[in-house]
Amino acid sequence: GEDVEQSLFLSVREGDSSVINCTYTDSSSTYLYWYKQEPGAGLQLLTYIFSNMDMKQDQRLTVLLNKKDKHLSLRIADTQTGDSAIYFCAEGNNAGNMLTFGGGTRLMVKP
């Protein structure tokens, strides 16, 4: 079945860029998503990219997609302490409506 993998933890200093990586196995993925989860809160949709794109930029967020390698990354520019959270990568495909999630990357931003 489909699988989505992420590294568990990332620590950066305030003002630096953060890069969170994700790999997936389903070659039929049509959309790939990034969600943010703050403590005690739900899954907030940050951004998403269609599989025929290789980059999408939205303010401080840049998503890069390497479809050949099935690798997705989320870059956060000028990382702030408020960006500290767990970031989930998820993939969806036309075969169904379900999303398959990675295990989440905990981003810690040090002042």
Chain residues binding other proteins by CB under 8 A are: 30-31, 33, 35, 41-45, 48, 88, 90, 92-104
**What is the smallest separation between the CB atom of 101 and other proteins, expressed in angstroms?**
4
**What is the smallest separation between the CB atom of 70 and other proteins, expressed in angstroms?**
17
CB 102 within 8 A of CB 87: no
- Spatial distance between the Cα atoms of 96 and 67, rounded to a whole number of angstroms: 20
Residue nearer to other proteins on the CB measure, 16 or 58: 58
Which pair of tokens denotes residue 9? 């933890």
**What is the smallest separation between the CB atom of 52 and other proteins, expressed in angstroms?**
12
Residue nearer to other proteins on the CB measure, 74 or 102: 102
Class of residue 103 by CB neighbours under 10 A (exposed 0-12, middle 13-18, buried 19+): middle
